[in-house]
């Protein structure tokens, strides 16, 4: 749903990260949304920070998919930039893991939606580069949204094999897989997973390898 935010009031803090703080907000029309508040660096890294923000906004403004958080617009106030986004009520998968013992049925449904979102991105030659539970949001109706595109890139503009962007402990699976296949290694499958989960991953790996092999040969240079 396309919306335009003109005037708004900030509410409670929802979370924070390396790219800013997220708050709940209400517009003058009465609908609720999330606002990402980013301090614009005035120092030596100012231009790099601004370029990264502009890139994130440019990507978000292109997306229209049920499994990707919706972008509503931006606003600027002195040294702060505000990015208006769809409010996803239940927070991240990381926070849900703290509240609930998620069953295979939950994981299966969430994974299906995550993959739909990733297919949408990859069809547009865009790689997220920071897929992790903290960047996957869940709505009260069970819908899942990919969020935080601060590190996302168009795949034709970077050499993915040399890219190590992303969170240290949660390197994006598509990047990790590229390193693995480059060394002709099979990604490990944890034994503690259920038989169904291991079977799912086993079936996914050959498809992922074929995807990566095809991409590298179609795009040998950035």
- Each residue of 179-197: pLDDT tens digit? 665 555 666 778 888 888 8
Task: Note the pLDDT of residue 154.
Answer: 79
Residue 78 lies in a domain: yes
Q: Please indicate, yes or no, whether residues 80 and 106 belong to a single structural domain of this protein.
A: no
The CATH number for 208's domain is 1.10.510.10
Q: Please indicate, yes or no, whether residues 64 and 98 belong to a single structural domain of this protein.
A: no
Q: Please indicate, yes or no, whether residues 80 and 129 belong to a single structural domain of this protein.
A: no
Total domains in the chain come to 2
Mean confidence (pLDDT) of the chain? 80
Q: Please indicate, yes or no, whether residues 197 and 125 belong to a single structural domain of this protein.
A: yes
pTM for the model stands at: 0.76
Q: Please indicate, yes or no, whether residues 191 and 125 belong to a single structural domain of this protein.
A: yes
Q: Please indicate, yes or no, whether residues 185 and 103 belong to a single structural domain of this protein.
A: yes
Q: Please indicate, yes or no, whether residues 78 and 99 belong to a single structural domain of this protein.
A: no
Domain holding 62, by residue range, is 8-85
The total of other beta-carbon atoms located within 10 Å of residue 209's CB is: 15
Task: Note the pLDDT of residue 157.
Answer: 47
| CB 127, CB 155: distance < 8 Å | yes
Q: Is 157 annotated as a binding residue?
A: no
Is the pLDDT confidence value at 164 over 50?
no
Residue 2 lies in a domain: no
Is the pLDDT confidence value at 38 over 50?
yes
Residue-wise pLDDT for 41-66, tens only, equals: 655 566 666 777 888 888 899 999 99
Task: Note the pLDDT of residue 119.
Answer: 92
- Secondary structure of residue 73 in the 3-state scheme: strand
Nearest CA to 117 out of 155, 138, 79, 146 is that of: 146
| Domain final position from 85, 111, 130 | 85
Give the catalytic positions in this structure.
Answer: 130
Classify burial at 68, counting beta carbons within 10 Å of its beta carbon; exposed 0-12, middle 13-18, buried 19 or more: buried
Task: Note the pLDDT of residue 188.
Answer: 74
């Amino acid at each position: 749903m396309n919306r335009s935010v003109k005037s708004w009031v900030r509410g409670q803090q929802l979370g924070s990260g390396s790219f800013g703080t997220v708050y709940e907000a209400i517009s003058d029309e009465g609908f609720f949304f999330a606002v990402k508040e980013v301090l614009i660096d005035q120092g030596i890294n100012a231009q790099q920070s601004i370029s990264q923000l502009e890139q994130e906004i440019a990507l978000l403004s292109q997306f229209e998919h049920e499994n990707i958080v919706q972008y509503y617009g931006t606003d600027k106030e002195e040294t702060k930039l505000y990015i208006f986004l769809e409010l996803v009520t239940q927070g991240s998968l990381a926070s849900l893991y703290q509240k609930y013992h998620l069953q295979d049925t939950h994981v299966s449904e969430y994974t299906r939606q995550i993959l739909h979102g990733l297919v949408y991105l990859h069809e547009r030659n865009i790689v997220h580069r920071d897929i992790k539970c903290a960047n996957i949001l869940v709505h009260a109706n069970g819908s899942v949204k990919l969020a935080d595109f601060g590190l996302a890139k168009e795949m034709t503009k970077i050499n993915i094999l040399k890219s190590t962007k992303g969170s240290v402990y949660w390197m994006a699976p598509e990047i990790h897989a590229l390193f693995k296949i480059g060394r002709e290694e099979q990604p490990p499958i944890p034994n503690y997973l259920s038989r169904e989960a291991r079977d799912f991953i086993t079936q996914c790996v050959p498809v992922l390898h074929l995807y990566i092999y095809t991409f590298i040969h179609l795009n040998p240079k950035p």
